[in-house]
């Protein structure tokens, strides 16, 4: 009697895309929480090519405008730095290690903090701690985030001139997005079922805003944008409380 040939299970499109990622990433895939896997599935569905998928995962969306059209600067002429990301939509350069914008500097200023740090380092001057989790870098980024994010409206993305009034308020979030958990700094990510991208600042526990029990901070260019943010978060069931007297 002839044995039936076993059929090989066809790889899903996501599995094929994951094969393009570094080995260390592939090894951790099975151990990832479901919400993180859902994020990767969504990224795979929205990516037109394997290269775009890799960019979404390894670089992420632009922290300024939220565009997924981003790449690492490893092969960008005159930059050639894999720790720097660039947005093809708005042109933002930012550090992939700590998420801080890079303006006129040749490198992210957090590297200067690393060089002066007295922690023991290996031959490559690496202490082994991720920059975004380093307390010294977090404190530096705290000030930079307020400075930079304070000039961009959380809702409409308008750049707010220094001489114009801006509205700063906070909110307690019922379900913190996965992208913001255990993070601090400036982010532009989708919220709610409608996936509207909104700019927020996630404060460090040491910030005095924490006494108001706020998880995130918004900056708005007008009272209309303040109201629209409030209406959106309430309609999406995202916030239990808004706080306007922060500072």
**What are the tens digits of pLDDT across the range 60-84?**
777 767 677 888 888 788 888 888 9
**Calpha distance 26→113 (Å, rounded):** 32
**Calpha distance 189→50 (Å, rounded):** 22
pLDDT band at 3 (very low <50, low <70, confident <90, very high): very low
Stretch 26-44: mean pLDDT, rounded? 69
Q: Is pLDDT above 70 for 109?
A: yes
Q: Is pLDDT above 80 for 227?
A: yes
Among the residue ranges 87-91, 100-104, 231-235, the one predicted with the least confidence is: 100-104
Q: Is pLDDT above 50 for 93?
A: yes
Q: Is pLDDT above 80 for 136?
A: yes
The dihedrals phi and psi of 140, each to the nearest 5 degrees, come to -65, -45
What pTM was estimated for this model as a whole? Answer: 0.52
């Amino acid at each position: 009697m002839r044995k039936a040939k076993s059929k090989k299970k066809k790889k899903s499109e996501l599995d094929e895309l994951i094969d393009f990622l570094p080995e260390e990433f592939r090894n951790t895939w099975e151990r990832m929480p479901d919400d993180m896997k859902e994020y990767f599935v969504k990224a795979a569905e929205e990516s037109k090519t394997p290269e775009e998928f890799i960019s979404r995962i390894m670089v992420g969306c632009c922290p300024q405008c939220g565009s997924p059209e981003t790449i690492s600067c490893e092969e960008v002429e005159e930059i050639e730095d894999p720790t720097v990301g660039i947005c093809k939509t708005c042109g933002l350069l930012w550090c992939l290690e700590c998420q801080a914008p890079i303006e006129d500097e040749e490198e992210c200023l957090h590297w200067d903090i690393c060089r002066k740090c007295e922690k023991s380092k290996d031959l490559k001057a690496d202490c082994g701690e991720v920059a975004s989790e380093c307390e010294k870098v977090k404190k530096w980024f705290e000030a930079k985030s307020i400075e930079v994010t304070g000039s961009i409206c959380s809702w409409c993305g308008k750049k707010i001139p220094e001489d114009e009034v801006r509205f700063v308020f906070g909110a307690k979030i019922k379900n913190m997005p996965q992208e913001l958990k255990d993070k601090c700094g400036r982010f532009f990510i989708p919220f709610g079922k409608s996936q509207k991208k909104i700019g927020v600042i996630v404060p460090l526990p040491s910030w005095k805003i924490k006494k108001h029990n706020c998880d995130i901070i918004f900056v708005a260019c007008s009272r209309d944008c303040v109201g629209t943010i409030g209406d959106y978060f309430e309609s999406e069931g995202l916030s239990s409380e808004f706080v306007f007297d922060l500072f």
